[in-house]
Amino acid sequence: MRILIRNCASAFAALALGAGLALAAPESDPMKALAGLPAGNNPLDPMTALMARSDEGADAESNAELGGLPDGPGAEDTYYQCVACHSTEIIKQQRVTDHRWDELWTWMVEAQGMVEPDDKTKKVILTYLKENFSSER
Amino acid sequence: MSQQACNTVATHDGDTPDEARRRFLRTTGLSALGAMLGMTIPFERNLPSGVIPVALAQDTGMDLMSGKTGLVVLGDRPLNAEVPAHLLDDDITPYEYLFVRMNGLVPQTALDQNAEGWSLTIDGEVENPLELTIDDLKSRFENVTRRLVIECGGNGRAYFQPGTSGNQWTVGAVGCPEWTGVRLSDVLKEAGLKKTAVYTGHYSNDVHLSGDEEKVVISRGAPIEKVMEGDSIIAWAMNGEPLSALHGFPLRVIVPGYPASASQKYLTRIWIRDKEHDGAKMTGDSYRIPAYPVAPGTEVPESDMVVLTNMPVKSIVTFPQTGTEVKAGEQVEVRGHAWCGKGDVSAMHVSIDFGQTWQEATLEPAANRFAWQRWRANLTPPQHGYYEVWARATDQDGISQPPQSPVWNPRGYANNIQHRIALVAVV
């Protein structure tokens, strides 16, 4: 069994592998996920405070011509690549790790029949997705 | 070449090629073109000059949203929409308040409500493969009508930290309509299950997002022991009406207790497998969870992911709507529904002090197994101020909903975090 850990202390890896207990690093503190929730939560709907953090109102303007994707390097390539199958709404909902974006790309190509662009365009698109729809930054 | 192709779509004088392309794409539907050409990038270079596609993509179903009320559309292609909790107050969820979860596009037969010549194939590990018309189903098997909860496996995904990929459902990808059909177990008995039968594999005639007619949109299933329990049905009606285009016309499976992706819409075939079904979205990370608990954000190897089966115990507050103003010192009725993938819920509790103390709510019996159960509690905010009502259901094994998201999983399934609403008590 192989297990990869991102954003977690190696202690968790040790736990998962049954190698015994170890002290978790500070960034693995589960209370951290509860702290510093984004301003602008709606107290009249307490579920909003529990949602995955999103960087709404971040720097980049959303571009109506590109299905509301935020402007930036790769926005246009991303738009044309993705909307052949699905609308931008599903993209805009995501806040995931870089690793997950790589896996999603592979899944779309292998399981969903997405036509891959050339390597340069692929890199531009994945960089754009990781920059704009991330749980890591 | 590219420049030339762009020029052919420059129908507005003075447009730059780029503007012309965008105008063209806006007005014709880029996705449809992509599907037609089987191409994405660089898509505009491949557009045959002068060709305006007539057969635009199969319908997403978005136009049918006019028959729904108050739903939050998470995405328009594929169409996915959930229901604010306060609109789920009915004991039997009406059509207008049932969530929509599409993996692909709505088939033409469903849009036309045309089931002429429809047949359902039962084959694979059976003694007598069956080809059944809808009339055969209605006449040869006992008809049953049941309230059955369907809940998207990803309902509650929005509450996982860090975020997980997929539609960010909050609490409203669930409903409990009344379905009419036949027991799946009766049909399988008639087909005669071989000893090698292990799993069902469901197929339908919906259309892949890519427009590729060869591609299966989704094909999931359930273990034979689960479907032979007799709760799973093949349904042709919901709330006394033929199934609608968005919910599976003319036939669908309902496998209550399982993620609703097992409840295949637009059903054409049930393939009885001699192993765990490996159709589209049965494998990889789809509707799978780690075989052991993992820390949030862990990347789990595919070989350690197992199929999600029973959905966990869960409840929602459907009345009052969150943010409602009430009178301090006066009793207010709070109510909702509770359900569990294993069957009946055994207890329901509410708290108005952030989980420090809990009050038992009354819990009505289910109309039938796997129907959601009505709960009610009378609460009195002791003084003016801000209150949250937290709701917690407990299943028959004593397992309750957690106040925070349960164990994290890479695709964000089966989140049964307690639902909370706000009440503002005024003097």
pLDDT tens profile A111-122: 999 999 999 999
In this structure, are B143 and B289 located in the same domain? yes
| Domain with B24 in it | 2-46
- The pLDDT value given to residue B46: 44
Size of interface A-B (CB pairs under 8 A): 176
Contact A100, B165 (CB under 8 A): yes
Predicted confidence band of residue A59 (pLDDT cuts 50, 70, 90)? low
**Which of the two residues, B245 and A6, has the higher pLDDT score?**
B245
Chain A residues in contact with B424 by the CB 8 A cut-off are: 44
pTM beyond 0.90:
no
Compare B195 and A16 and report the one with higher pLDDT. B195
- Between B76, B167, B410, which is nearest A93 by CB? B167
Could you tell me the two tokens for B38?
Answer: 């089987």
Contact B351, B387 (CB under 8 A): no
Whether ipTM > 0.90 holds is no
Residue to substitute from B161, B314, B321, interface A, most A β-carbons within 10 A: B161
Q: Are both A77 and A117 inside the same structural domain?
A: yes
B137: phi then psi, degrees, rounded to nearest 5: -60, -45
Is A25 inside any structural domain?
Answer: yes
| A51 within some domain | no
The alpha-carbon gap from A131 to the nearest alpha carbon of chain B, in Å, equals: 15
Non-local (6+) Cβ contacts of A48 within 8 A are A41, A42
A37 within a domain of the structure (yes/no): no
Which positions 31-60 of A are in contact with B (Cβ < 8 Å)?
33-34, 43-47, 50-54
Distance between A79 CA and the closest CA of chain B, angstroms:
10
**Which pLDDT score, from 0 to 100, does residue A51 have?**
82
Q: Which DSSP state fits A80?
A: H
Q: What is the pLDDT of residue B6?
A: 32
Identity of the residue in B162, B209, B386 whose CB atom sits nearest the CB atom of A135: B162
Quick one: pLDDT at residue A53? 61
Lateral strand order in the sheet of B267-273: B130-133, B119-124, B267-273, B199-204
The residues pairing with B267 across neighbouring beta strands, listed in sequence order, are: B204
- The answer on A73 and A128 residing in a single domain is yes
**B338 shares a domain with B278:** no
Question: Residue A125 belongs to a domain with what CATH number?
Answer: 1.10.760
Looking at the structure, tell me whether residues B278 and B375 fall in a common domain: no
B182, B199 Cβ separation under 8 angstroms:
no
User: How buried is residue B1: exposed, middle or buried, by Cβ count under 10 Å (0-12/13-18/19+)?
Assistant: exposed
Is A44 a domain residue? no
Across residues A123-137, what is the average pLDDT? 93
User: Of B311, B317, B313, which Cα lies nearest the Cα of B391?
Assistant: B317
Amino acid B238: pLDDT: 98
> Do residues A24 and A77 share a domain?
no
Closest CA to B259 of B173, B169, B152: B152
Assess if residue A102 is contained within a domain: yes
Query: Which one of B165, B304, B351 makes the best mutation probe of the A interface by having the most chain A beta carbons within 10 Å?
Result: B165
Same domain, B109 and B233: yes
Residue A29 has pLDDT above 90, yes or no: no
Do residues B70 and B179 both lie within one domain?
A: yes
- The domain that holds B416 is classified in CATH as 2.60.40.650
**Residue from A78, A93, A99 to probe the interface with B (highest B Cβ count within 10 Å):** A93
* Cα dihedral: B69, B70, B75, B78 (round 10): -20
Query: Are A66 and A127 in the same domain?
Result: yes
Q: What is the pLDDT of residue A33?
A: 67
Is A128 found in the same domain as A66? yes
- Characterize the bridge pairing of strands B385-395 and B345-351: antiparallel
Number of DSSP helices (H) and strands (E) in chain A, helices first: 5, 2
Taking only residues 56 to 85 of chain A, the set having a beta carbon closer than 8 angstroms to any beta carbon of chain B reads 65, 77, 80-81, 83-85
Q: Which of B320, B391, B399 is nearest to B358 (CA)?
A: B391
Chain A hits for B386, Cβ within 8 Å: 43
Domain that holds residue A120: 62-132
A93 CB within 8 Å of a chain B CB: yes
Q: Are residues B70 and B215 in the same domain?
A: yes
B124 and B159 within one domain: yes
User: What pLDDT, on the 0 to 100 scale, is given for residue A36?
Assistant: 61
Report pLDDT for B212: 85
Residues A28 and A75 in one domain: no
Pair (B80, B141) in one structural domain: yes
How many separate domains does chain B show?
Answer: 3
Number of domains composing chain A: 2
**How far is Cα B107 from Cα B130, in angstroms, rounded to an integer?**
23
Contact B268, B205 (CB under 8 A): yes
Task: Identify whether B55 is part of a domain.
Answer: no
Q: Are residues B260 and B318 in the same domain?
A: no
The answer to whether residues B171 and B248 belong to one domain is: yes
Residues A9 and A68 in one domain: no
Q: Can you list the residues of chain B whose pLDDT is less than 50?
A: 1-57
The bridge status of strand B252-254 relative to strand B233-238 is antiparallel
Q: Is A3 close to B296, i.e. CB distance below 8 A?
A: no
Question: Are residues A79 and A124 part of one domain?
Answer: yes
| Residue B80 C-alpha, separation from nearest chain A C-alpha, in angstroms | 9
Question: Are both B104 and B182 inside the same structural domain?
Answer: yes
Contact A103 B34 (CB under 8 A): no
| B229 domain-assigned | yes
Q: Has residue A49 been placed in a domain?
A: no
Pair (B289, B151) in one structural domain:
yes
Looking at the fold, whether A26 and A66 belong to one and the same domain comes out as: no
Residues of B in contact with A83 (CB under 8 A): 30-31, 34, 77
